[in-house]
A = this chain, B = another copy of it.
């Protein structure tokens, strides 16, 4: 399991480099409930693995210039190997989130969202880039099925910066033939029906129906949607972008929501942070 492996790696680092620990900063502006929940899961995973994680919380009144200046100081802090900005920014001020994301030093960008990292991933220069956590987790789940990706027809629904677009890149550079679908795609059921591997990050509850899915396909569902459900505590339940009960009958492998992609995403953030620390240590020792 990924977390177990990372824990062992961090212990190895601590042994070899006198108590060294990888450092992660999670920068949050504001106080969104969903962000709070995701951040708590990241901090918990970091603690389990032995990563030194700090949660930097800024008030809703923070300006863009203030956010940028804090990012610069974290970029310069030698004990921090990974810096992520929790999105969306919950600010009362106008903040350009593209500018904020790109202010993170590429070698600390463990979310893989800077233009430099996106450019490397999209062009197949994967040697020193960071792969965004959700697509990286999806690839790990696909690898765990034992299905080889090269030469397969993969279909990605969605083209967001954190899921669809980098997922396309990863599948392509693992040598799949990749089709990207989105809100303007006309014949979505037909496109889905051609997929040996289907990755869905559309943000619409249960939009992919089981009847569309190719018999024996691998189906990875990145959706997290809330449907009203009076039988549940809280009055709602969480579903993915795929209609699980029907798709499960045709897919050879399908990830559940919750419990599939989500935990793997958190694990991959830890993986990138540990990788970033290793890169630094190797640079130091090669001098």
A98 CA to B116 CA, complexed, in Å: 13
A177-B181, A178-B179 known; A159 vs B124 contact (CB < 8 Å): yes
Among the listed stretches A29-37, A184-192, A252-260, A265-273, which one makes contact with chain B, having 4 or more residues with CB under 8 Å of it?
Answer: A184-192
Q: Which residues of B contact A179 (CB under 8 A)?
A: 177-180
User: In the complex the two chains form, is B175's CB within 8 Å of A184's CB?
Assistant: yes
Is residue A66 within 8 Å, beta carbon to beta carbon, of the partner chain? no
Q: Indicate with 1 or 0, residue by residue over A100-115, a CB within 8 angstroms of chain B CB atoms.
A: 0000000000000011
User: In the complex the two chains form, is B184's CB within 8 Å of A150's CB?
Assistant: yes
Is residue A216 within 8 Å, beta carbon to beta carbon, of the partner chain? no
Is residue A45 within 8 Å, beta carbon to beta carbon, of the partner chain? no
Is residue A49 within 8 Å, beta carbon to beta carbon, of the partner chain? no
A161 CA to B121 CA, complexed, in Å: 11
Q: Which residue of B lies closest to A181 (CB)?
A: B177
Q: Which residues of B contact A241 (CB under 8 A)?
A: none
A105 CA to B76 CA, complexed, in Å: 22
User: In the complex the two chains form, is A165's CB within 8 Å of B122's CB?
Assistant: yes
Which secondary structure dominates where chain A touches chain B? mixed
A119-B114, A123-B161, A151-B186 known; A178 vs B175 contact (CB < 8 Å): no
A186 CA to B150 CA, complexed, in Å: 10
Q: Which residue of B lies closest to A174 (CB)?
A: B184
A169 CA to B180 CA, complexed, in Å: 10
Interface contacts beyond A177-B181, A177-B185: sample of 13 additional A-B pairs, CB < 8 Å, sorted by A: A98-B125, A115-B116, A115-B119, A116-B119, A118-B118, A119-B120, A119-B122, A124-B159, A153-B186, A153-B187, A176-B184, A177-B182, A178-B179
The 18 listed contacts between A and B (C-beta, < 8 Å) are A98-B125, A114-B119, A115-B115, A115-B117, A115-B120, A116-B116, A118-B118, A119-B119, A119-B122, A124-B159, A124-B165, A168-B180, A172-B182, A177-B182, A177-B184, A177-B191, A178-B179, A179-B179
A binding-site residues for B, Cβ under 8 Å: 98, 114-120, 122-125, 150-151, 153, 159, 161, 165, 168-169, 172, 175-182, 184-187, 191
